[in-house]
Amino acid sequence: MRVSRVSMLLFAALAAVVLAPSGTHARGLLQAQVCVLPATVAPTSQVLVGGSITTPIAAKVRPTSSTTFSGSFAIVFPAPCPTAATLAAALPKAYIATVKGSPGVSLADTKAVVTMGTPPTVVANVLVGGLKGTTLSAVGPAGVAAPTVTATAGTVTTTNSVVPIKPYSLAGQSMLIAGTGCTLGATGATVTFSCPKLSVAQTLNLDVGSGVKGGGSLAIQGSLTATGKLSDAKLVPASTVPAPKA
């Protein structure tokens, strides 16, 4: 049986649409996807910043007021997106991440004081300002595990009346979100990531000039809650979301 030239051209055109790797149709079929559910940090998420100085002197960093977390991150599920009926089974496979290009989470500016002696005497003031970051976790046996915040901006400024101390940049620092009771759960169609006893520790390096280095640690403690609606979940290219931590 002879095949007409017109039939051959039509077949070639159809094959190009279906199989061409650079085609829009092929990209939609072949590109890996994940399901992201946006979770917004609740305004009740408040923390205190404290810590300690260990060198060149021993001192305590004491909070003077609480401050709030804000922003959002994604709760990430394997495709397809879960339904109300499959949500409970999907939670152990989920992790949290900041979608590429999203602003992430931030911490309002907060102040603390450095004290020495008994009774405590204030010897310096501390300002943690402009702290912003992205989130990422692993997938553990029960779901979200070892979540971290990686700072994209933020500065620790320490001032006193004796020596100038250079501001310490937090940008690029990865901080583990620890604490007891961090869970990912669902009530109806609302998914909640909750850390009622949040604890984040960060090493602090100080440069007081003349070759003198100081150090210690900051401790961010409080609570963090973020919620999202199952109806807002959507499929996105996997390339737009960081893979979970190993």
210 and 154 together in one domain: yes
What is the percent of the chain with per-residue pLDDT over 90, rounded to a whole number?
65
18 and 83 together in one domain: no
In a domain, 80, yes or no: yes
Average pLDDT rounded to a whole number, residues 117-136: 94
56 and 107 together in one domain: yes
Is the CB of residue 189 less than 8 Å from the CB of residue 230? yes
The reported pLDDT for the residue numbered 201 is 86
- Reading the block at residue 96, the tokens are 């949290």
Predicted structure pTM score: 0.81
Question: What phi, psi does 60 have (nearest 5°)?
Answer: -115, 145
In a domain, 246, yes or no: no
Determine the 3-state secondary structure of 10 from DSSP.
Answer: helix
**pLDDT, the chain, mean:** 86
21 and 120 together in one domain: no
Peptide bond into 82 cis (omega under 30): no
The reported pLDDT for the residue numbered 162 is 79
CA distance 87 to 67: 33
Cβ atoms < 10 Å from Cβ of 71? 20
Domain that holds residue 17: 1-30
Q: Which residue has 């996105």 as its token pair? A: 236
13 and 126 together in one domain: no
